A and B are shown apart, each in its own frame.
Chain A
Amino acid sequence: MSIDFFWRLPTHGCSTSVRNPSLTRGDWAPLTEGNQAPGLYDGQPDGSTYIDHVAQIAKAAEISGFHGGLIPSFPMTDDPWVISSHLARETKTFRFMIAFQPGFINPVETARLTASLQRATGGRALFNIITGGGGPSQLWWGDSFAHDDRYGRTTEFLDILKGVWKDGPYSQNGKFYSVENGQLPAALAATDLPEIYFSGSSDAALASASKHADYYLSWLEPFEQLKSKFGAVKEKTDALGRKIKCSVRVDLIARPTEEEAWADAKAGFEATAHKRSDSFKQASDSVGAARQAAFKASDAKHYDELIIGPNLWTGFSLLRGGPALGIVGSYEQCAQKLDELIALGTDSFILAGTPHLEEAYRVGEEVLPLVRGRQASLSIAAE
């Protein structure tokens, strides 16, 4: 069975180089040398905006063989629904993985939005449902549910979204959402439901995932830990009657040689030394975020203190917002790591590299062709 590879669209700027990772593409940082701040030329508007850069990345990703991209959503980012609809008509095969929380939009409205996007794109919408987070950041969004409550809400949300789409007229009287005789118009109802990527490491999350998710999505974690996590997810969801697939979201620094790759990781580590901050020291009750924070990347004095295994480095959270652990190596080594992840149960990947535009081509052209997938799994298992 083949593996799905997605890329990531940066929704709050990007850098021109992982060796000097300040946000130089997009308007999240002032116009400086090396900068491409869309909309500005010599400080004056030039008619383009950040969506023009995001469009470049989406096209690079589809041209170089990715299925599509994850479009993340945080308080400081641009919005994935707006990005998806803006890019729908100028991409051909790119699939839009929209990150959102059920508290943002009600389930019937979400069904209408998504089915319309399916019609506009020939079925290229999918979801990354986020239920984690919590604490003050959740109240920033205007959402005050407790952690375990939120997974119950996600389950109801997806019950109703699927119900009005495929089983209308649909009624449900829930704790969080209700609907009475809800139904999409026939033309919208005829579109396919989006595939659902689901995150969350708690028991409450897994119970909800087993009912509605197609893929269980995790950040990269140490391989043995990830293997048991995926094993548990598949076992538990199988027991609950619906086996789901597993997906890993991971950044890579892939270069022609391992030396070049580590040199770039080292350069990025040193370039950010003066403003050392770990993007995971934030108020949140997310279990996954706590696991990444446990790597304590910001305490390291030298980049190689963060190497936790062959081609595995926990310094990525120092280079950009996001998880700590990622892959550093030659094209062959990166492909080998992906094969190892496939062998331990990964069915899909969301990859990323900096800069997102050029690295989409590089990873698509140089790394993906070397991935052997299930064939490799057999030989690794035999070793």
Chain B
Amino acid sequence: MTTEFYWYLPTAGDGRSKAFDQLAPANDTPNATIRDLRKSHYTNIDYITQVARAGELTGFDGLIAPDDVAGEASWIVAGLIARDIKRPTIIAEFSPGAGSAVYFAKKAVTFQRYSGNRLGWSLATSTNAVTRKALGDFVADTDIARRLEEFLIVSKGVGSSDDFTFKGEFFEVLKGGFVGPLSGWQLPEISLSGETSEALEISAGYGDVHVFELGTADLAAKIARLKALTATKGRTLKIALKARIFAHDDLDRAALEAKRSGFEDDSQTLTGDYDSLAEDLLLLGELGVDRFQLFAPHSLETTYSIGEHVLPRIRQALRKAA
């Protein structure tokens, strides 16, 4: 068994960016005593690329650019880091409401060509109609799942055939698909999420990864049910678990950090020293979790502490068990 580790990039900033970028909730007043050469040279993007490199250097398998409306656009962030990041998978999260399924497939082909098939897609649409309308997306709540399914049919169709025709309610294409060097690339790995039976049905039919959040009730049963459902369709899929994480060599200090950040006793947060975190993650792995998707209010520092201390413990334990 292998367990994969992915890290969420702080596209909307984290505890750090207020020092130098307007994405932060409050701008620190510059200290006039110190001669500051930065001017407007740096933004959160420079920090994001450092976090991405941190993830690569410390052994993470993938990096996720979340679709956070308060931050940088996920597809741009994915492209910005792609020339520096040579090994990990890069996942762009976006909504099928953001544009044409054919066009997203086309962008994916270019990305796959340049990265050697390292692009992943995480498809998610806000369940809040107000949020959607602010993004120019007026889809009805009851149509979100059907639109996602059509998006998957069309993007997979044009990605795997050069004569694909489909006319649905939300997307259509006539004799679509890619030829020459644009053909033959792997479709991006598809990550989906949600707990409704509709969502699980689509994951079983089209998804490569289904993401649950830490704190999901009856997680083990849900994982087992989804894996069984997927098997009835002759497919397999990976289970990912998304969690916030605080790590320190001293358990009390980890707890102190979690408290400071407002995530004490939070059901979606893992807090611990390196040994206890490794144990927790291994136990979750035994429930059927194949991939952990982690984030933290201090992205850079936590990437290093997890990558340097927790990941080696888990990988060593898994090697011994094998």
Contact = CB atoms under 8 A, between A and B. Distances in A.
Partners in one complex: yes
Interface of A: 26-28, 49-51, 75-76, 78-79, 81-90, 103-109, 112-113, 115-117, 119-120, 122, 136, 139-144, 160, 164, 169, 177-183, 185-188, 190
B78 interface: yes
A330 to B, nearest CB: 37
Contact of A106 (B23, B82, B99): B99
B69 interface: yes
Interface in B161-177: 171-176
Given A50-B113, A120-B45, A82 B79 contact: yes
Interface of B: 12, 21-23, 40, 43-45, 49, 69-73, 75-80, 82-84, 94, 97-103, 106-107, 109-111, 113-116, 130, 133-138, 154, 171-176, 178-182
B73 A116 contact: yes
B79 A106 contact: no
A90 B83 CA distance: 9
A185 B134 contact: no
Contact of B80 (A50, A85, A180, A186): A85
Given A105-B98, A119-B43, A86 B138 contact: no
5 contacts: A27-B181, A86-B114, A107-B136, A142-B174, A181-B134
A76 B182 contact: yes
Given A51-B83, A141-B102, A106 B175 contact: no
Given A27-B181, A108-B136, A181-B133, A187 B116 contact: no
Contact of B99 (A51, A109, A188): A109
A112 B70 CA distance: 10
B176 A142 contact: yes
B135 A109 contact: yes
Given A76-B179, A113-B76, A116-B72, A105 B114 contact: no
Contacts of B172: 139, 142, 144
Residue of A169, A177, A180, A181 with most partner-chain B CB within 10 A: A180
A82 B114 contact: yes
A84 B173 contact: no
A166 B224 CA distance: 49
B85 to A, nearest CB: 11
Contacts of B101: 142
